[in-house]
Amino acid sequence: MGLEYVRISPGFEKYMPRDYVDLVKYGPFGKQVDVMQMGQFKELVEEHPMCAGCYMAYFIRVFYAALPNPEDTIVLGTAGCARLALSQAAVPFIYGNYGDTNAVASGLKRALSIRFPDKVKDVVVIAGDGGLIDIGFGMTMHSWFRREKFTTIMVDNEVYGNTGGQESGMSPKGIQLKMAPLGKKFDKINAVELAKTAGCVYVARISPTNPKRIAKTIRRAILAARHFGPTFIHAYTSCNIEYSIPTREVLADARKREKQDFKFYEWMTDEVKEFFEELERKEKQEVKK
């Protein structure tokens, strides 16, 4: 971890793969990139096997461009679609068993703060609705009850996409899916309110329609987790295969859902609010100088 691990040993430049050399030369390591510059630098995430037009892949792309310090970050994932892209990035990735991501992250964050007391190390969990709210529900909740200082991001595609389309706790009521032909009988779980009740200090719900806002939310969640406690982002990332959305309409669907039930929502405790106000004041002063 740290910048040393991305540098190429002298003399080996011409033997390294082109993607790696590009990453060291034009990547975001050691400098602060803006998410609006995507497409003009070598991104941390590489080619991945996710479906064409998958907006979970898009969310992950923006996530890696928004990391405040990628060289000191560890990402955790679990079974589900998200791990297909998460494991293709130049950031250390840990694959938990299904549902235990938040338990692994708790231990990891504590170990890192003992091993590197003078450094900031970020731990971020990205898992789907199945990994966090269905199968991993207990471990997710208990990591929040214990106020572990890391970020949890739920990429909610409202279905078990990998295994053929079973309903999940996050599927909307009444939805008919390939492996749930009778329609779902129960309401969608209100994950945002659960997170607030369980003790998260920063909670957000977002639809991927505005890269700048996604990046700001992710940065805020990670910065708040460093100092105060658990943070949670609920992101809508549609499954265009299981919900039969034509790939060209994926962004239109995200915009439609944003107007319906995924309106941008951000909640934080008073101390976190003060912290961000202070931080933004300092940033403005620096820009003026």
DSSP-derived letter for residue 133 is I
256 counts as binding another protein under rule CB under 8 A: no
Q: CA nearest 140: which of 109, 102, 110?
A: 102
Find the binder of another protein among 14, 18, 248, 289 (CB under 8 A): 248
What's the closest the beta carbon of residue 189 comes to another protein, in angstroms? 26
Q: What angle do CA 78, 84, 89 make, to 5 degrees?
A: 100
Closest to another protein by CB, 39 or 117: 39
Rg (CA), the chain: 19
Q: Are 165 and 178 in contact (CB under 8 A)?
A: yes
Q: Which stretch binds another protein (CB under 8 A): 143-151, 165-173, 174-182, 245-253?
A: 245-253
Q: Which stretch binds another protein (CB under 8 A): 58-66, 97-105, 183-191, 274-282?
A: 58-66
What's the closest the beta carbon of residue 178 comes to another protein, in angstroms? 21
What's the closest the beta carbon of residue 247 comes to another protein, in angstroms? 4
Find the binder of another protein among 192, 250, 268, 272 (CB under 8 A): 250
Closest to another protein by CB, 252 or 279: 252
| Secondary structure (DSSP) of 176-206 | -BTTBTT---SPPP-HHHHHHHHT-SEEEEE
Find the binder of another protein among 10, 14, 31, 47 (CB under 8 A): 47
Q: Are 208 and 235 in contact (CB under 8 A)?
A: yes
Q: Are 204 and 265 in contact (CB under 8 A)?
A: yes
The residues binding another protein (CB under 8 A) are 35-36, 38-40, 42-48, 50-55, 57-58, 61, 64, 211, 247-252
